[in-house]
Amino acid sequence: RLEEREAEREEEREKKEERGTERCIGSLEYRGAAILAPMVRCGTLPLRLLCKKYGADIVYGEEIIDRKISRCLRRENVTLGCIDYVDKDDTFGTEYGGAGGGEGESGGAGGKVGAGARRKKDGKRPNVVFRTLPEQEGPVVFQIGTGDAVNALKGAEVVARDVSAIDVNMGCPKHFSISGGMGAALLQKPDTVVDILKTLIRNLSVPITCKVRLLETTEKTLDFMRICANTGISAIALHGRYKEQRSSTPARLADVKAIADAGLSIPLIHNGDVFKYEDIGRLREATGADAVMIARGAMWNPSVFSPTMRPKMEVAKEYLKTALHVDNFAQNTKYTLLRMLEGDEDMEVRHAIQRVKGHEALCEALNLAEYYRLQQATRAAGDKRSYIGLPPTLRPNVDPY
């Protein structure tokens, strides 16, 4: 059996070399990494860029469903210098790319393209399902929601050239995912999981990973994770909670430690209860994991990746500026700001944000009205200073004007 497995892997390597069409954006090194977790609605381009700026080694995008991304066309957005994946039912071929756009509102649902975008013939704006600045935010991992190998490959093939890895979501406990045979439903379908992972590994040149949750016992969790590891994936993330548990329940660090102590052949990433920079090293040691993945801690304050955390309001303003520069969908920006400013100390500002719509009004709520006017005026005048405040490493590579 070992000889058969080795022959199979050699055949897979040869097929990858023959294709050689995809490219890996950014170097992936999981051991010792601090990673931005995939988060529905929040994990769009502005948050990924900001977390990367503050020290995230790897950033994951929000989960996008296989059928949604498989319907997309790749378009180079010449205004923003980014890559957009646009629903092919909402685009107009080679004419796309003359203006900015807004990334998806939630897990694959897609958002409306920004105010400057070219319109379709029916007057509506195209849906941008996934937007990336791969050279600036990389390594970026695309998380796909899927329940079968065929659709997984169809979706992953579309986006693989612009990401560093493809991650399969096997941990989402939401009804939508489970009822569709995706997310945590896969924890009970090891044969399907093997089929999905092996199909992706066999046909793509980028690394494949997956993210799982705890099963009923440590033994069952370890058995499942070893099944995943034996397919040839590059890393596995473990959310230290059962599928029935929510974030209000403390992560089960001892269970994660038991998995790490038992040993896996690939890097183990711990996910759960990382809220400040010091937690990164502390939980890596407490769990024995190779890397730590941060979700809510990064959503509340992206500077959690930095030894010196910045005041939350300061970072919220920086997030809003970044969202402006990458022409993020305003409703998505609003949602993320509201999550970022959770807490009694920011209640007045949160109420102001709740009452308004659009980036201009959001800037007024955060005392950035003058900044917004300057940014819009210089952009309209064709002046590169419309990217004022955006770090040079996050500015587009091309002249958008």
- Catalytic residue numbers? 172
55: phi > 0 → left, psi -120 to 50 → alpha, else beta; which? left
Question: Residue 157: which of 91, 66, 96 has the closest Cα?
Answer: 66
Query: How does strand 111-112 pair with strand 127-132?
Result: antiparallel
Could you count the other beta carbons within 10 Å of the beta carbon of residue 369?
13
Give whole-number Cα distances, 250 to 5, 247, 288, in Å: 40, 7, 17
Cα dihedral sign for 114, 58, 147, 221?
negative
CB 204 within 8 A of CB 22: yes
**How many Cα atoms sit within 13 Å of 323 on the Cβ side?**
30
Helices (H), 107-166: 134-137, 149-159
Cα dihedral sign for 53, 58, 64, 69?
positive
Output DSSP code: residue 118.
Answer: P
